[in-house]
Each structure stands twice: as structure tokens, then as C-alpha cells.
Chains A and B, each alone.
Chain A
């Protein structure tokens, strides 16, 4: 492995091979090639972002980039540091086992350095070409239909000690195919739009949901859905109808959606946040959701309301994202309504140290 080197680089070439949008820390300085984000955990300051490129070193000393992986550190809900890798992308269509080995060895060194005992790798299985933003559990979403050289060979990762731990699904439906059922006009629930502030407060008060969108961390601020700016009328909550006018109640669930930021031709959509208001979007994704109870009527009320709001804004294709492996109830509800699973993401994990 001595003829490989790992560099701290984000090659421009990656953007042509695997276009992406980036919505994480330093999105304003990354176009200059500069990152500086520091996270603080248990009194220790750590660099968060590690864009890693593996290069092959030729005999004359010149180098060729072979493999890229966007790596970062986050704090999980057990208050532990985790090193997370977005899908490693080949920068040359060549054998990669050596380069991957070098990358993973370097990542283990990094994990030791930042005192993390867990490494996670995100892997994507395309069921068809269609996937809206966000396509990743991280803040770097590849345009999956355009990614040319992802390493999909799970067995290869297994040889390095990684095992599949989670599976997250994405569902999709054309609005024209969406089936409205009798339950949409629910006697039990009222659905209404709320403001981003109200959603933040509601989540803080809620005390947890029995069904909710999968996320890497509820506690790490950098990974919170609120880093994606809110559009008008994209947060919906369902309330139990009460005949007692002044009875205090709280919402039974919520759904939040975003237009598909992949429709903008730039790696840094947040930098152009003013321009987002000058665009029409055709796709949207419900990416942040939670239900107090696994109640079909509750789910359908929220979903139909969201679909209707999306339709009003010109959205033609609706995606329902981040459905975890155990959410059979949500999957059933979606399939009933005409949604199909279009994309699946696996999380491979290795404990180190």
C-alpha cells in the first residue's frame, strides 16, 4: 500500500463525476476551497470536516487521484463521537481495493485521533434513477442518478470489518398517481401549517415520537433538519379534533418537506438562497416527520395535506424520505397511497479501538 497517499482534498473533478449539493458547515467558504468548522465536545475542540482523497503515487513522484470520500465527525445520541463517511467515489475507473484499504486505514487513524470508536459508511442502492434532495443522511447529497463510480461491493467493505447496521428507504409517487382515500377528510384530525419556530418548540416539547424519520443524530446541531432553510407552508401538524373549545391539546404528529434543491445547478444551494425564490420546482421531499402513534388516519391526514400543499406549489413528484428499517407501518401506508420504494441507503458500521 506504499504507493498510495491520502490527501486532505476535495477535487473539482468529483463534481463532474458525481454532482452533489452541500448544505453543511462552511458552505460559504468551501467555494474558495477553505474549511474551518470546529465542533466542541466535552470541552475538546475538534475539526469536523475531512474531505479525503486517495492518490496513487507514480515512480516519478507524480500522483493521480483515485478515490474520494467526504468524511466528518458527529456526536450521536449516546453522546459518542462517530466518524461518518459518505459513499466513497472512484475518480478513475480502475480497481480500487488497494485505495479503499488505504482510505479506511486512514479513517481508523482519524477515529483514534479524535477518540471515536465508531466508523459509519453510507452506501446507496439505486432502485431507479429518481431521488430528490436530501439524498444522504449527511449534508453532502450526491445526485444519485449521475454518480458514475460508487463502490457498491458490500463484500469488499465486509473484508475490512464493516457490517450493515441500518437500512433507510426513500419512496416516491407522482402526484397524479396519488390515491386520496376516504380517510383524508378525517373526523379525528385537523391539519394546519405552522411556522418554523412553532415546529422547533413542538419538537422540544414532544417527548418523542413512536414513528419518525431516520437521522444520524438528534443532538448534533450540524445535522439538524433546521440547517435547511424553511419555505413557506412546508411544515404541517395534525391535531386531534376536540369538541371542547378550550381544551388544551398538542399536535399528534408533523411533516416537513423541501423542494428538490438538486434541481438547481450549483453545489452550494444555500449560498444562493435568494435565488431559490426565483425558481419553480417540480419535485419535493418530505424529509422530516414524526408521529406520536402509529395511526393510519393520522398519517394519511398529514400526508394528503402535504401532497396538496406541494401540488399548489407546482410540485409534480413527491418523495417520502428517511424511512427506517423498522417502520413497516409507514411503508404500508405509503404503498397503499401509491408510493413505490425508489431508493435504499445502507449504513455500514465498524467498531474500532
Chain B
């Protein structure tokens, strides 16, 4: 058995189905992007580390048990990411195993852990501490101070001492210089990293018997932290960031660092990146970044999630910069109703502006992913029809590679979680225990009391789920109507009129 200073474990979410065929689906596969950078930071400071993604391990070895990790190594510290609430049950389950199998100090981090730090430590003895907010310096300090038990020296830490909870000052907020130091490309620290890059994609689940097959390797690119707006449903908005990390305004990774990361990705055979950090609609940062990527001739595709509409210049810049094979722009109008969109989204745009943007994307020959949501505040069954109608017209007339509508699950720390009455929400998820129980039910194949964690005063949870099912039936698997006519030979494409004929 090998002694190791820190073992990072990513808790994949399980969804057990006890139907005619029992399936244990591993879902929400993507690991927080910072895990590799944290492990690399520790390595560079003399601590030995290793990262295991439990879903990937299980995917390639169906007999894999988390316990096996502790037969291979004896860690001083076990770090479990609990950024997204979907990992609430598995994070605690793994913490329990770590405690049973080793003498390691178990630390959690990430937004969900930060938000519920005190509840987690009060309820689950298997967790020793939670790092709140940015974790780089706190984790290094934890490694230094653990031996002499001076945890009060560790910033951003909530921990247990003599049976009571201690909360250290939130004094570390990563700035540009801190981000500059981080290396997100030390993939060798992650067990089966090549398989991980194959497995992550927007389509989600890990299933060795899947009928859909991924043919690209993808990695997420760190661009920055923070936000400038507060969408009603999002637990990562401006106020949430301020509350969880103390960050008042977004911070970017230096462009030269991002270009280096992309070059390394290309060298490692990564085909496509996912970029999802777009807090300023002027996008000056991206003009500079894209120019540098072109200058360095980095050949990679990118799936870019736009948080607001862009001008045509940005779309052209995007098309000129990235390999077109797997490059897409991602747009989430969320609702077809302008009123609902205005009341929920931080970056508002009208339908007319949206169609202007879609026309620009079509002219620049950029593929599009379009996402809607059901369960928005002020959404009714009637105005949800506007969502279906808008989606249909987008599917029919624009180069859409995927269009879908997911029912929103209640995110901890989002405006509507914190002020439910203001947003017409009747909460069913209010505590960490609620999330834990819900995902435990899914993992064990038990019926769960709630799927989304809320009703709205306009619609019941059931109606919200039915809306998204109705959307998928009508739009999600459909083809543009004109394309079907072209295939049937009932319609033909017209040639553009030559100038001398007009």
C-alpha cells in the first residue's frame, strides 16, 4: 500500500432503475474543473496526490468499489468535491467509506458544500471539514496545519473542534495572480484520464451499453470565476458568488494562460473544449483571447456557452478561431415568453433580437445548441406554449444540432431558493438533508417524494415535468419540417439568383 498525502475522489451520481432490466446509471459525469489544478498545486508544493473519478473507474471496471481505492493507498487527507448538489448523497457515502477504510482527514469543497457547510458538519461525522469558496490556499494551509492541528490557521475553513463547529475567516479570494499560477492540464494525476475525456459530453450519462456513442475527446476550459447577474434559478449568480466566495466581481484567467492550456489540450489529443464563462456582454476578453489562439495556431473545436446575445462580429471571430468539426454556440433563451424570460434571466433579450442573432449564426455557418427550461417563475401552462412555438420556429429555420427543454431542479443558493415567496416558489428542498435524501433515493432505486424540489404558485411540480416531456415529444426528437419535405422530394432548394438575372 502506498502512502499518499491527498486522495481526491469525485463522487459520481448513481441512478438505479429497478424495472424489468436493472440498470445502475452513472450520471452527471463532469468533474469540477479545478480538481486537477488543486492536485497539481499540491504536487508542486511537495505533496503526493492522486485523483479518482468513481464513475469512470466503475465504467471500465464494473466490479469497482470505492473501498478498493483504500487498498491501493493510505491517504492522509481525502478531498471530495461537492460543487453540484447532484453529488450530495455520493459525496457523503464516499466520506463514510473513507472514514471506515482509513484514518484520513475528510474535507469537502465546492459550492454545495460551502453553502451547507455547517449543516453537513453537524449532521455527518464522517466529514471533518469543509473549505468554503476558493480552495487553493486553504487546501495548502490545511495540509501544512493538519499535523499540528492548528486548523484555525486555515482560511475559509469550517471544521469541528471538541464537538463544536469552528468557522475560520473567509480571507482567501482568488485573484488574477492566483489563477495565473494554476495548471489545469496535469491530467496524469487523474486515473484513466483518457477515458474521462471520452466520457464527458453534454449528453450526460455513462452507460457501457449506450446506443449513442461519443466520438470526440472533450475537456472544460477554465476561463474565470464569478458572475455579474442573478438569474432566478441559478446558484452561481453574482450574489451567490459573493455569499459563497466573497467575490464581488468576476475574475478572468489571463488570456496567455488559457492559450497555453488549449495548446496542451491539443497536444494531449483533446478534440473539443467546453467554455462556459461569459459574464460581460461586450466580450472584449474573448476578442483578445481568440486573436491569441489564432496567432498560436491552436487547432481545437469549442462548444461555447453564451450567457447573452452577441453581435455578428463575435460569431465570425468564433468561426474563424476554432476547428469547425465540433464547434457550436450554445444559447439558452429558457422561455419563449419574453415576460417570463425578463423576470428570470439576468441577461434579457427579446425574441426579435434572438432571431437577429440566429440569422447571424446561420450566415456565419455556425452550428447551434439551443436550450429551454420548464419550471421558471411566472411560467404557466399557457405561456409554456410560447416556448414550444419558439423552439419549433428555431428548429425549422436555423442550423440546430440539439434543442431541448429540461425541468429545472431547485438549486441551493439561487435567488428563488433564498427568497421563495418573492419568486412564487413553494420549496420542497430546503436543507442539505433534503438533497441528500433525494439522491440517496435515486441511487437506491427508491421512489422519491419530489423530483424538482418545488412547486410554483403557477404550476405544480408534476405540470412542470409534463411540460418538459411535452416539449421533448413535440420538438426534441424532431427534424425541421422543410428538411423532411426535401428528403421526400416534395420540396427543392432554390439557387440564389445571379446578379444579372435580378
Contacts and interface: CB of A to CB of B under 8 A. Distances in A.
Interface of A: 8-16, 28-36, 38, 47, 51, 55, 60, 62-65, 195-197, 199-200, 226-227, 229-232, 234, 259, 264-268, 271-281, 313-314
B324 interface: yes
B492 A34 contact: no
A337 B171 CA distance: 82
Contact of B399 (A33, A230, A272): A272
Contacts of B327: 31
Interface string B183-201: 0000010000010001001
Given A9-B215, A274-B398, A15 B362 contact: no
Interface string B258-294: 0000000010110110000000000000000000000
Given A230-B492, A232-B494, A272-B362, A29 B402 contact: yes
Nearest to B489: A196
Contacts of A38: 211
B214 interface: yes
B437 interface: no
B147 interface: no
Given A231-B494, A280-B498, A200 B402 contact: no
Contacts of B268: 62
9 contacts: A9-B198, A11-B269, A11-B271, A16-B299, A32-B203, A33-B215, A199-B489, A227-B487, A276-B493
Nearest to A32: B401
B389 interface: no
Contacts of A8: 213, 215
B216 interface: yes
Contact of A226 (B217, B269, B300, B487): B487
B495 interface: yes
Interface stretch (B110-118, B149-157, B363-371, B465-473): B363-371
Given A32-B202, A55-B269, A271-B399, 8 more contacts: A9-B216, A9-B217, A28-B479, A32-B369, A33-B271, A65-B269, A196-B489, A197-B488
B469 to A, nearest CB: 21
Contact of A12 (B213, B323, B367, B482): B323
B234 to A, nearest CB: 24
Contacts of B300: 12
Contacts of B230: none
Contacts of B202: 32
A31 B493 contact: no
A25 B216 CA distance: 17
Interface string B312-324: 0000000000011
Contact of B325 (A31, A34, A199, A200): A31
Contacts of B459: none
Contacts of A195: 489, 492
B18 interface: no
B370 to A, nearest CB: 13
B201 A33 contact: yes
A272 B326 CA distance: 15
Contact of B216 (A33, A227, A259, A314): A33
Contact of A47 (B213, B272, B365): B213
B154 to A, nearest CB: 35
A278 B360 CA distance: 13
A35 B188 CA distance: 28
Contacts of A30: 215
B301 A278 contact: no
A272 B324 CA distance: 13
Contact of A230 (B212, B217, B402, B489): B489
A231 B492 contact: yes
Given A12-B301, A65-B269, A229 B487 contact: yes
B493 A231 contact: yes
Nearest to B218: A33
B401 A63 contact: no
Given A64-B269, A226-B489, A273-B483, A32 B194 contact: no
B486 A32 contact: no
B141 interface: no
B490 interface: yes
Interface string B452-468: 00000000000000000
A15 B324 contact: yes
B213 A31 contact: no
A280 B486 CA distance: 20
A278 B128 CA distance: 63
B493 A200 contact: no
B397 interface: yes
B216 A10 contact: yes
Contacts of B218: 33
B328 interface: yes
Contacts of A51: 215
A232 B492 CA distance: 6
B21 interface: no
B495 to A, nearest CB: 5
A281 B493 CA distance: 13
A274 B362 contact: yes
B363 A275 contact: yes
B213 A229 contact: no
Contacts of B401: 28-29, 31-32, 271
B367 A31 contact: yes
The 10 closest A-B pairs by CB, nearest first: A196-B489, A33-B216, A12-B271, A229-B486, A10-B215, A36-B212, A197-B489, A15-B325, A31-B367, A230-B492
Nearest to A29: B401
Given A11-B271, A230-B486, A274 B326 contact: no
B326 A32 contact: yes
Contacts of B194: 63
B193 to A, nearest CB: 9
A273 B328 CA distance: 17
A64 B399 CA distance: 33
Given A12-B272, A31-B367, A51-B215, A314 B498 contact: yes
B496 interface: yes
A13 B367 contact: no
Nearest to A276: B493
**Which of B301, B398, B486, B490 has most A Cβ within 10 Å?**
B486
